[in-house]
Amino acid sequence: MQNHLELLCDLSELNWIFNESQSIDLFLAKLVDMVAGHMQTTVCSLYLYEEEQRELRLKATHGLKAGAVGVVRMLEGQGLTGTALAEKRTIVAAKASLHPAYKFFGGLNEELYEAFMAVPILRGINKIGVIVLQREEEKPFSQAEVTVTQTIASQLANIIENVRLLGHIERRSDAVNISKPKIELALVHGQSASQGLVKGRALVLRRYQDLSEYLAEMPLKGLTLNDFHECVKKTEVQLEMIQSEVEAQLSDVASLIFSAHLLMLKDSSLLAKIETLIAQGSSPGAAIVETADFYISHFSRVEDHYIREKADDVRDLALRLLRNLSGPQDDLGDLGDKVVIADQLLPSDILKLSHEKILGIVLVSGGVTSHVALLARSLGIPLVIADEPQLLALDRNSFVLLDATIGNVYVNPAPSVIEIFTKKQQEVEIDEAEIAELTMTRDGEKVFLYSNINLLSDLKMANRYRAQGIGLYRSEIPFLVRSDFPSEAEQFLVYQRLAAGMPGKPLVFRTLDIGGDKVLSYYHHEKEENPFMGMRSIRFSLGHKDIFARQLRAVMRACAESDLRIMFPMVSSLEEFLEARQVLYDCQQELKAEGEKFCQAPKIGIMVEIPAVVDILDDLAGEADFFSIGTNDLIQYLLAVDRTNEKVASFYVPHHPAVLRTLKRIMQSASRHNVPVSICGEMASREIYLPFLLGIGVRNLSLDPVFLPRIKKACAAINLPEAKTVAQKLLRLSSIKEIEKLLG
């Protein structure tokens, strides 16, 4: 038996049966036969999970009736097999019929075999299916057999995940080599970062694209120096027009985001170099590429991060010049029907793509709470984060369905899938007339829903969905996409429009929160090994009080007539809060001396996001006017998980017992001192957490405006006494799996 176990642990045997199979269905049939033989079991069955139906379907079996394959289904959580998947744990029973989760399924003859083992097949946090072994009661399964079956399940996860579509495995005509996979992607599971449903052609964007390869594909023969001059004029007019349009739409962040390109076009040395090469016999296209490569190489070698980023500006300008040289034949400039797939995008890239009217974005790296994701939401661009590098190899003719409501990417789907998808698009349309002005629970308790504002353009949606104020303005966004720190005057204009967007309603202004994943390209500082623990947020502001004061002065002037609340992010001590508040008081004295009109009594609060603060909240409550819980960072620091790192995404668990109990402690402390509290992190936009949050006393939630309708609806279905009971039960649980089961 031991030799068989060792052989089964060797991936080479799986390789062999996979290579010899002409289809996935045949591979699965051979697999269950092989496992049954090695494990000396009468039955080996494989069930695959269909996510949309939340069902398991029998896909292959050795020992049960062959006619049951593809027919037998069970709900997630139903029976021993469904329970193993729902709870993501192996279930072993010496006598299956006596197990409390047992459910009889007729027509399989499995009641003849009492010794039972079900092992879930998981890929990260994604559920793939279950492998089930059964035999006579006299031969129960040993721990060694459990270990081997779990090894098989882990090896199967990647194979099956890469080839399944809508819960079923498509038949393939070519054999697949595991050591050198030739996977035809069909369905990729990711995480929703900005909701929406779109369909269109894929366009893979590579930030470090070889310009020579691009040139080789372009129809640029027979062009002259005059053609180049016309191209430059066309490009300059184009950039100025784009800048003007973007400025009108997004004036808070769009201040000359194309300025680098325009400046280079006006650089006589760059143009002269291209013209010289053309005069020496180079084609205009080749001259552009050679000149661009020269500058890219030069900038890339410089240690200064800001200058190195200029290489991307040169590349972007060169690509635009080449497209304009090629004329109307080239369709790369038209992104109106494209779903962009990229491995990396900067906030400024998102703004540019928005102007090009792309349909959606798939990022193969990053996190759902990144500022790229926040910008995508504000701009209404559906975005999925998917850890699947093979997406970057998709052909330009690939047709993609992007379901960013659940995080799925469908590649070249069948007509039936497109039909289902189109119906879903129609179903998610929101009837704005049905959105209530006030948010009430089922038993008549008020819940106050505020809007997070990333861009000024969010104000329109926030008002349309009847937000009761601004619960979080992320003031760092205008800083992120600029080439220098904005002046007080520039900030004043932005904040003035912000205040005008919701007159008479509360406006919670978070001071500059940079650092971690929010890097300013123009801020020159030493590289930090762990930027999330470094010079960020309020630490940065207190270390640069001139920048801090400019922002405070601008917002108090702009919001002179507003219900202004100013909060400081990442506060870790009473001293930090008091120091930051003193800077604000000093600014008020200056403004008063200057005769400026300003908000003289803004409420001043803190973001609760560092665990150390939880133990000193009673002290802070004597000084701060309000608390706002930033669950994204609070969870990150409580659980020691970098929330932007997809490799540890499964460890970022908002319902971890430590998180739930910490939230309860915060609410208790605030209640003792009668300090208002709001939740402004991702948890506020997740219906699954609403009963718990309301049950521990939360009544103020701030979320991105796109989520307002569904959270209003979810609140209306909640009865507060029931929510309090649920919260009490959750707080008593110590296991993540138990909590997940109760949350449903």
pLDDT band at 329 (very low <50, low <70, confident <90, very high): very low
**Gap between the Cα atoms of 29 and 58, Å rounded:** 11
Helix spans in 451-528 (H): 458-464, 477-480, 488-501
pLDDT band at 726 (very low <50, low <70, confident <90, very high): very high
- Read off the pLDDT of residues 642-669 as tens digits, 9 standing for 90 and up: 876 767 778 889 999 999 999 999 999 9
Overall average pLDDT of the 706-721 stretch: 92
Q: Pick from 427, 442, 460: which residue ends a domain?
A: 427
* Domain tally, the chain: 3
Q: For residues 316-327, b (16+ Cβ closer than 10 Å) or e, as one string?
A: bbbbbbbbbbbe
| pLDDT beyond 60 at 49 | yes
Angle at 299 between CA 295 and CA 303, to 5 degrees: 165
| pLDDT beyond 90 at 714 | yes
- Read off the pLDDT of residues 389-447 as tens digits, 9 standing for 90 and up: 888 888 877 899 988 888 889 998 888 778 878 877 776 666 665 677 889 999 999 99
pLDDT band at 583 (very low <50, low <70, confident <90, very high): very high
76, 85 contact by CB (below 8 A)? yes
pLDDT band at 196 (very low <50, low <70, confident <90, very high): confident
* DSSP conformational letter for 111: G
CATH number of the domain within which 519 lies: 3.20.20.60
Considering the domain architecture, whether residues 439 and 420 belong to the same structural domain is answered as no
Considering the domain architecture, whether residues 553 and 698 belong to the same structural domain is answered as yes
The phi, psi pair for 330, rounded to 5°, reads -90, 125
Considering the domain architecture, whether residues 237 and 170 belong to the same structural domain is answered as no
pLDDT of residue 347: 65
In angstroms, what CA-CA distances link 231 with 141, 213, 234, 248, 497?
74, 20, 5, 26, 38
pLDDT band at 366 (very low <50, low <70, confident <90, very high): low
Overall average pLDDT of the 52-72 stretch: 86
Of residues 142 and 1, more confidence is placed in: 142
Q: Pick from 385, 410, 427: which residue ends a domain?
A: 427
pLDDT of residue 667: 97
Percentage with pLDDT > 90 across the chain = 39
Task: Note if 715 is an active site residue.
Answer: no
pLDDT of residue 728: 97
Mean pLDDT of the chain: 82
Considering the domain architecture, whether residues 524 and 377 belong to the same structural domain is answered as no
**Gap between the Cα atoms of 730 and 741, Å rounded:** 10
* Options 189, 261, 371, 655, the catalytic residue: 371
Considering the domain architecture, whether residues 226 and 303 belong to the same structural domain is answered as yes
Task: Note if 680 is an active site residue.
Answer: yes
pLDDT band at 254 (very low <50, low <70, confident <90, very high): low
pLDDT of residue 296: 85
Considering the domain architecture, whether residues 540 and 415 belong to the same structural domain is answered as no
- Read off the pLDDT of residues 603-638 as tens digits, 9 standing for 90 and up: 999 999 999 999 999 999 999 999 999 999 999 999
**Gap between the Cα atoms of 562 and 654, Å rounded:** 34
Please report how the helices 268-279 and 284-300 are oriented relative to each other, as an axis angle in degrees rounded to 10: 130
Q: Pick from 184, 219, 250: which residue ends a domain?
A: 184
CATH number of the domain within which 372 lies: 3.50.30.10
Considering the domain architecture, whether residues 401 and 416 belong to the same structural domain is answered as yes
Considering the domain architecture, whether residues 292 and 417 belong to the same structural domain is answered as yes
* Options 559, 587, 599, 680, the catalytic residue: 680
Residue 340 belongs to domain spanning: 191-427
**Gap between the Cα atoms of 30 and 46, Å rounded:** 11
- Read off the pLDDT of residues 330-359 as tens digits, 9 standing for 90 and up: 334 456 678 999 887 766 677 778 877 889
Considering the domain architecture, whether residues 165 and 200 belong to the same structural domain is answered as no
Residue 667: CB atoms within 10 A of its CB come to 19
pLDDT of residue 36: 87
Helix (H, G, I), strand (E, B) or coil at 506: strand
Considering the domain architecture, whether residues 365 and 462 belong to the same structural domain is answered as no
Considering the domain architecture, whether residues 115 and 241 belong to the same structural domain is answered as no
pLDDT of residue 263: 74
CA-wise closest residue to 613 among 630, 592, 596, 590: 630
Helix spans in 595-707 (H): 611-614, 617-620, 631-639, 657-673, 690-695
| pLDDT beyond 70 at 29 | yes
CATH number of the domain within which 58 lies: 3.30.450.40
Overall average pLDDT of the 453-481 stretch: 87
| pLDDT beyond 60 at 182 | no
| pLDDT beyond 80 at 84 | yes
Considering the domain architecture, whether residues 160 and 255 belong to the same structural domain is answered as no
Distance of CA 686 to the CA centre of its chain: 14
pLDDT band at 312 (very low <50, low <70, confident <90, very high): confident
pLDDT of residue 654: 94
Overall average pLDDT of the 117-145 stretch: 85
Sheet (strand 338-342) strand order: 187-189, 408-411, 399-403, 197-205, 338-342, 360-363, 383-385, 191-194
DSSP 7-57: HHT-HHHHHHHHHH-SSHHHHHHHHHHHHHHHHT-SEEEEEEEETTTTEEE
pLDDT of residue 641: 87
704, 458 contact by CB (below 8 A)? yes
The phi, psi pair for 717, rounded to 5°, reads -95, -5
**Gap between the Cα atoms of 636 and 643, Å rounded:** 6
